[in-house]
Structure 1
Amino acid sequence: METSENKRSVIVGIFVFLGIVLFVAGIFTLAGQQKRFVKSIELNAIFDNVAGLKVGNNVWFSGVKIGTVKKIDFYGTSQVKIKMNVEQEAQKYIHKNATAQISSEGFIGNRIIVIEGGNINLPVVESGDRLHVKKALSTDAMLEDLQANNRNLIEITGNLKVISGKMANGEGAIGALLTDSLMAGNLKNTMAGLNSASQNINRTAVSLSAFSNKLNTKGGLVDELLTDTGVFSQLEGSVGNIRKLSVAAASLSEDLSTAGQKLNDKNNAIGVLLNDQESAASLKKTLTNLETSSQKLDENLEALQHNFLLRGFFRKKAKEEEKMK
């Protein structure tokens, strides 16, 4: 009897010992998950809406769990103050202008707080510091946006259905193109004409490019005019000379016109000779008389040379001329 009771006591003791071991292991496991035995600092953040965040939810940094939510209190009139325990090991990555945002572990998972480290040029946070917050997009707002997008998508598909129906019935320009072979042929011819015009434009552009390259050829006239200041100054001087020549030609033309007017005027000798027939005839007669008188004078001189009184004089003069030669 005593032996059976001893066995029962031993079995009960073993089960109690195993229960205590499992209980202690569970405590250490939960404490490890909650990072109860890790040195930590306390950080604060004030949100307008925590969106279902609870004490014990996780705090993440760059996708790594670094702490948990310690306490949630109301703050001011309608805000909520969150106290977080953050591992001291992660403190060196969180700076003074770091931000906190409420997010979720999935689309419908548990709420978490996500910390962004901030500017590395600023000092790190200390225990008790307050983080800046970023407004999180709530699930309700996301669902409302999805509903609005769904309504817009339904309207768009309905409009597309109406448009496709009209096109199939040949209504509108596109429907006519799809159903009217004549219009389709005209459009095809128009496109061919546009293609031909485009090719012509391309050829013209190539020709203009080649012409432009020739104009820019070193040593060419246009290149010299555009780049050589000496050639430009010479050309400018030539243009000035041409302008002066033009002015001189105009002046000469005016003088010739004046002289022509004077030649036509009977108040001067040349004008009388050119325009008065009587004066011209008289002048002609006078010239004839002078010619006749000259011939007679020559004959008289020759007769004087044969005269015995003057023959010696002319012979002496001839000998002197020969001697001079």
Structure 2
Amino acid sequence: MKTEESKRAVMVGIFVLIAIIIFVVGVLTLGGQQKRFISSITVKTLFDDVEGLKVGNNVWYSGVKIGTVKAIDFYGDSQVEVVMNIEESAQRFIRQNAKARISSESLIGNKIIEIFGGTPAAEPIEDGDVLASEANLNTDDIMKTLQENNKNLATITSNFSVISDRLVKGEGTLGTLLTDSTLALNFQNLVASLEQTSVNTVKASRDLSRFTNQLNTEGSLASELLTDTTVFNRLQASMAQLQQATESAAQMTQNLQQTSQKLNNENNAVGVLLSDEEFANTLKQTMQNLETSTQKFDENMEALQSNILLRGFFKKRDKAEKERMEEAEEAGQEPEQQNQ
């Protein structure tokens, strides 16, 4: 009996020891998951709605678990204060201007707190700091939005069904285009015309490009006019001279017109000579009389030279003229003849 009792006591002791070991391992495992044995700091944040967040839920930063929710309490009139345990090893990565928001591990998973943002210029968080919070999109709001989108999609589908039915029946402009062969042919011709216009436009663009290239060709007249200031100044001076010559020609034309007007005027001598036939005849007769008088005067002079009384005078004059010519020949000079 004693031997059996001893065996029973040993078995019970063994089971108790195994139970204690399992308990200790379980405590250590749960403590490791909850990070109970890791040095941490306390950080707070305020939410208007925690959306079912519970104590013990995880805290994430950049997809890494860095702590747990330590406490959830009401704050003020309507806000909720959430106290978080943050690992000291992650403290240096989280800045004081970072924000916290409530999210989910999956679509139907547990709620978590996600810390995000922050700039390197800000200081790292300290124990007892309060982070700003950002409201998360509520699931109910998402469902409402989805319901409204579904209604809009149903309306669009109904309208498209009506439009397609009208198109099949040939109603409206598009329906006519789909059913009327004549209109479709006209539309094809219009498209062909637009294509031809496009081809012509491209050709015109090429011609214009070619023309501009010629303008930019060095040594051409257009290039010289556009770039060489000397050629431009010469051309400008030539144009000024041409304009001056045009003005002079216009002035000359005006003077000729005035002269012709004076010639046609009978109040001056030239006008009388050109237009008065009677005066012209009188002047012609006067000239004839002068010629006749001159001829008679010559005859009278010859008669005087033959006259005995004046013959000595003319001889003396001829003798003096002859002596003067001989003196001039002796002096090596050409004799000057005087008409008297």
Instruction: State the Cα distance separating 1:299 from its structure 2 match.
Output: 7.2
| Mapped partners of 2:48, 2:298: distance in 1 | 146
Number of the residue aligned with 1:143: 143
Does residue 61 of structure 1 match 2:64? no
**Aligned residue number for residue 210 of structure 1:** 210
Give the structure 2 partner of residue 168 of structure 1: 168
CA distance in 1, matches of 2:254, 2:205: 51
Residue 216 of structure 1 contacts residue 223 of structure 1 at CA under 8 Å; is this kept in 2?
yes
CA distance in 2, matches of 1:213, 1:304: 97
Report the alpha carbon displacement of residue 220 of structure 1 after superposing the two structures with TM: 3.3
Question: What CA RMSD, in Å, does the superposition of the two structures yield over aligned residues?
Answer: 2.7
Structure 1 distance, partners of 2:149, 2:229, is 69
Larger radius of gyration: 2
Match of 1:106 in 2: 106
- TM-aligned CA deviation for residue 49 of structure 1: 0.8
Give ranges in structure 1 of 5+ residues lacking alignment. none
Structure 2 length normalisation: TM-score? 0.86
What percent of counterpart residues are identical? Answer: 51
Q: Distance in 2 between matches of 1:301 and 1:107?
A: 155
Q: How far off its partner does 1:218 sit?
A: 2.9
Aligned residue for 2:248? 248
Residues 300, 21 of structure 1: CA spacing in aligned structure 2 closer, same or farther, 3 A cutoff? farther
- Residue 28 of structure 1 corresponds to which residue in structure 2? 28
Deviates more, 1:218-227 or 1:129-138: 218-227
Residue matched to 1:46: 46
> Aligned with 2:69: secondary structure?
strand
Question: 1:145 aligns to what SS in structure 2?
Answer: helix
- Does the residue aligned with 1:86 lie in a helix, a strand or coil? strand
- CA shift at 1:289, angstroms? 3.9
* Per-residue CA distance 1:89-120 (angstroms, 9 max, x = gap): 11111111011111111122111111114010
- List runs of 5+ in structure 2 lacking aligned partners: 336-340
Give how far 1:2 is off: 1.7
User: Normalised by the size of structure 1, how large is the TM-score?
Assistant: 0.90
Q: Describe the shift of the 1:317–1:131 C-alpha distance in structure 2 as closer, same or farther (beyond 3 A).
A: same
Task: Output the amino acid matched with 1:20.
Answer: I
SS at match of 1:112: strand
Q: 1:287 to 1:71 in 2, by over 3 A?
A: same
Report the Cα offset of residue 233 of structure 1.
3.5
Confirm whether residue 237 of structure 1 aligns to residue 237 of structure 2. Answer: yes
For 1:255-294, what aligned pairs fall within 5 Å after superposition?
255-292=255-292
Amino acid at match of 1:219: G
Change (3 A) 1:314 1:227: same
The separation in 2 between residues aligned to 1:304 and 1:222, in whole angstroms, is: 87
Sort the Cα spacing of 1:306 and 1:183 in 2 relative to 1 into closer, same or farther, 3 A: farther
| Equivalent residue number for residue 152 of structure 1 | 152
SS at match of 1:109: coil
1:44-88 Cα deviation digits (max 9, x unpaired): 100111111111110001100000000001011100001000110
Return the letter of the residue paired with 2:200.
N
Inter-partner Cα distance in structure 1 for 2:301 and 2:22: 177
After superposing the two structures, state which structure 1 stretch, 132-141 or 171-180, moved more: 171-180
Q: Work out the CA distance in 2 between the residues paired with 1:140 and 1:243.
A: 88
Q: Which residue of 2 aligns with 1:228?
A: 228
CA separation of 1:303 and 1:211: change in aligned 2, threshold 3 A = farther
Distance in 2 between the 1:307 and 1:135 partners?
157
For residue 280 of structure 1, report the CA deviation from its aligned partner: 1.3
Q: Which moved more, 1:196-205 or 1:240-249?
A: 240-249
Matched residues in 2 for 1:307 and 1:6: separation? 215
Offset of 1:159 from its aligned partner?
1.2
Cα separation, 2, equivalents of 1:279 and 1:135 = 124
